[in-house]
Amino acid sequence: MSRLLSFIAGAASVGVVVGVLALAGAFGGDTTVVRAQAAPPATTTPIARSGTTVAAIYARVASGVVFVQANSGRGQLAFPGGGRAASGSGFVVDGEGHIVTNDHVVQGATQYRVRFGVHGRPLVAKLLGTDPSADLAVLKIDPKQADLHPLQLGASDRLRPGDLAIAIGSPFGLEGTVTSGIVSALGRTITAPNGFAISNAIQTDAAINPGNSGGPLLDAQGRVIGVNSQIQTNGGSNQNSGVGFAVPVDAIKRALPALEQGKSVRHAFLGVSTQAAANGGATVGDVVAGGPAAKAGLERGDVIVSIGGARVSGPDDVAAAVNARKPGDKVAVLVERGGDRRTLNVTLGAQPRRVGTP
């Protein structure tokens, strides 16, 4: 649970997330209608190590990326036959018709359709499951209705700042748009639709705009390394400013088995808000009454120094340490209180549906 200035990159909802603490987080849900603009030109920047180009990767994987319409009564795009729709992107992950997108793309909707390519016909999709804590959702179409080209999932732990990053999606409803850049940074913390923290997000300067939400971020081999989810902007504009964030592929791998079966994804919960401590560590703010931290004896004003033996330099480290574990896991939390250090043994709970709910 932590904080970051970030903005949801969906076509229908670009929500502001400002100064979020673990318990007091807010996820913007204001509807913003974005007018279509000219698509940014596709780049053919050479990839030195692989000897191929962005154009070659696009030609190979673009058929596995879809335009997602979610009939939610919001946004500017209309379904055939009437109704209003939010929109975003998604990508195929297997031959059975499973499609990954963002939770905030489908949130609050009742009907879903996907389209392959600019001239493809809309296909009815079923929402199997959502994971608001990771901003992920899985749709399914009848595999007999489309020639499926699943994208390969890569790995988050092999990424380095400076690696090539390619985004494919439908910014402003313009399907099949490709942009490229680099992995700008790793280990970022962004805020999920339910107010909790998503750890180890990938920062990229590949142009991501409203409508790219749910589309894949790819590496130099065309493998999925993340799901494009949020952008940081300046002055309240919805325009890309070169700072975008993707949910890491490892989060997709964790959530997929449950979401494909329509099950909830359980996330670990500590039950405190934190802020940066003056001399390093994370200072505990609010403590959820009856929560895991409270039961273990954590108090407001404690400075968390380490969790599970791993040093804590700030709130992001607390979120990462908790998110890496499962409900029921026991973890040693070293805190400073009144000049003394003490170790408190916490049994992690399960996240509630939203920040601030019991």
Which CATH number characterizes residue 281's domain? 2.30.42.10
Residue 171 shares a structural domain with residue 251 = yes
Q: Quick one: average pLDDT of 83-106?
A: 88
Above 90 in pLDDT, residue 94? Answer: yes
The whole-angstrom separation of Cα 14 and Cα 239 is: 10
Spot the catalytic one: 156, 180, 213, 229.
213
Question: 82 or 322: which carries more pLDDT confidence?
Answer: 322
Spot the catalytic one: 135, 302, 316, 317.
135
Q: Is residue 55 part of a domain?
A: no
Among the residue ranges 78-87, 128-137, 183-192, the one predicted with the least confidence is: 78-87
Please, which residues have CB within 8 angstroms of residue 155's CB and are 6 or more apart in sequence? 225, 249, 250
Above 70 in pLDDT, residue 25? Answer: no
State residue 131's pLDDT score. 96
Above 80 in pLDDT, residue 34? Answer: no
**Tokens standing for residue 6:** 């970030």
**Tokens standing for residue 321:** 């340490």
**In terms of pTM, does the model score above 0.85?**
no
Chain mean pLDDT for the chain: 82
Q: How confident is the model at residue 324 (pLDDT cuts 50, 70, 90)?
A: very high
Instruction: Establish whether 104 is a catalytic residue.
Output: yes
**Tokens standing for residue 213:** 């939400």
Above 70 in pLDDT, residue 262? Answer: yes
State residue 240's pLDDT score. 62
Beta bridge partners of 287: 272
Of 145, 164, 188, the last residue of a domain is: 145
State residue 184's pLDDT score. 96
Instruction: Establish whether 184 is a catalytic residue.
Output: no
**Tokens standing for residue 247:** 């949910």
Among the residue ranges 25-39, 96-110, 127-141, 207-221, the one predicted with the least confidence is: 25-39
Question: 47 or 262: which carries more pLDDT confidence?
Answer: 262
Q: Which domain holds residue 211?
A: 6-31+151-260
Of 260, 293, 327, the last residue of a domain is: 260
Residue 15 shares a structural domain with residue 157 = yes
Residue 74 shares a structural domain with residue 25 = no
Residue 208 near residue 179 (C-beta atoms within 8 A)? yes
Q: Which range is most confident: 70-74, 139-143, 171-175? A: 139-143
pLDDT tens column, 185-220: 999 999 999 999 999 999 999 999 888 999 999 999
State residue 61's pLDDT score. 95
Q: Quick one: average pLDDT of 255-279?
A: 95
Residue 117 near residue 168 (C-beta atoms within 8 A)? no
For a pLDDT cut of 90, what percent of the chain falls above it?
Answer: 68
Spot the catalytic one: 103, 104, 205, 302.
104
Q: Is residue 170 part of a domain?
A: yes
Of 260, 287, 318, the last residue of a domain is: 260
Above 70 in pLDDT, residue 18? Answer: no
For residue 242, which phi and psi values (nearest 5 degrees)?
Answer: 85, 10
Above 50 in pLDDT, residue 10? Answer: no
